[in-house]
Amino acid sequence: MEEVKLLGAWPSPFCYRVIWALKLKGVKYEYVEENLTTKSERLLQHNPVHKKIPVLVHGGKPIPESTIILEYIEEVWPQNPLLSDEPYERAMARFWIKFGEDKTSVFIAYFQSIGEEQEKAKNEAQEALKTIEHGLGDKKFFGGEKIGLADLALGWIAGWLGAMEESAGLKLLEPNMFPHLQAWIRNFKEVPEIKENTPHHDELLAYFKSLRERSIASARS
């Protein structure tokens, strides 16, 4: 059995989606925490193009980019499938994974800005959540009855968004908004492999508060 290593950095949701996939498939791996301020030789060697985490290293071979890692994991360890066999369902899952990736900058903008700029980003972010709400419909998960790759890729909404909202001081997801998405968040958090492998809210809150202070300070200077 070839060795599996995951180069990551707490509390990156890009990293956690890979952890969730490995846990759901029962794949043993070694986790290596990388320092993103001073990047190790190992990280630069395994991801010379983007120099980012996560990187999965399987039998010494590196696979960077979380969404590509997810597809790789699905192909190498087919037990407990996270992607349908049916081409159209696969295309739909990939569409929602890509949608989430494309909208990352909108949520970052909402988190890092203040005043009018934040209001504008908030509206864009809510539009994105509305689209996700419609895409989900009344399905339990994006994959249907079972959790799948699209759920993992959008899983940051379940665990991270609340802490982001609290530290940004501006709510995105009001209690009366997007009922399907709210139900999905509850269902997602209850999946044992997710529940046992998500950072604690308080720790995330402290992390985001400090990150936001630094972002605003550097934007003002």
Partner 1 sequence: MADEVVLLDYWASMFGMRARVALAEKGVKYEYREEDLRNKIKSQLLLQMNPVHKKIPVLIHNGKPVSESLIIVQYIDEVWRDKAPLLPSEPYQKAHSRFWADFIDKKLYDACSKIWSTKGEEREAAKKDFIEILKQLEGQLGDKPYFEGEKFGFLDIALITFYCWFHAFETCGNFSIEAECPKLIAWAKRCMQRESVSRSLADEKKVYELVLGVQKMLGVE
**Would you tell me the crossing angle of helices 66-76 and 87-102 to the nearest 10 degrees?**
150
Told to check if 189 binds partner 1 by CB under 8 A, we report no
Measured over the CA atoms of residue 134, residue 140, residue 143 and residue 144, the dihedral's sign is: negative
- Give the shortest CB-144-to-partner 1 separation in angstroms: 16
Tell me, what DSSP letter sits at residue 141? B
The residue from 33, 131, 213, 214 that contacts partner 1 (CB under 8 A) is 131
Closest distance of CB 59 from partner 1, Å: 9
Segment lying near partner 1 (by CB under 8 A), choices 32-40, 62-70, 118-126, 168-176: 62-70
Q: d(Cα 64, Cα 48) in Å, to the nearest integer?
A: 10
Q: Per CB under 8 A, which of residues 101..130 are in contact with partner 1?
A: none
* Only segment of 5-13, 32-40, 93-101, 148-156 that touches partner 1 (CB under 8 A): 93-101
- Using CB under 8 A, count the residues that bind partner 1: 23
* H-assigned helices in 137-198: 149-154, 156-159, 161-168, 179-190, 192-195
How far apart CA 67 and CA 151 sit, in angstroms, is: 12
**Alpha helices, DSSP H only, in the chain?**
13-24, 41-46, 66-76, 87-102, 104-112, 115-136, 149-154, 156-159, 161-168, 179-190, 192-195, 201-220
Radius of gyration of the CA atoms of the chain, in A:
18
Verify binding: residue 44, partner 1, rule CB under 8 A: no
Position among 75, 145, 174, 202 found at the interface with partner 1 (CB under 8 A): 75
Burial class (CB in 10 A: 0-12, 13-18, 19+), 55: buried
Q: Is residue 13 at the binding interface for partner 1, with CB under 8 A as the rule? A: no
The answer to whether residue 88 forms part of the interface with partner 1 (CB under 8 A) is yes
Residue 71 touching partner 1 (CB under 8 A): yes
Q: Which stretch binds partner 1 (CB under 8 A): 38-46, 58-66, 150-158, 206-214?
A: 58-66
Contacts of 32 (CB under 8 A, 6+ apart): 5, 6, 7, 8, 42
Q: Which of 17, 46, 58, 122 binds partner 1 (CB under 8 A)?
A: 58
Contact segment (CB under 8 A) with partner 1 among 61-69, 118-126, 171-179, 192-200 equals: 61-69
At its nearest, how many Å lie between partner 1 and the CB of residue 91? 4
Residues at the contact surface with partner 1, assessed by CB under 8 A: 49, 58, 61, 63-65, 67-69, 71-72, 75-76, 87-88, 90-91, 94-95, 98-99, 131, 135
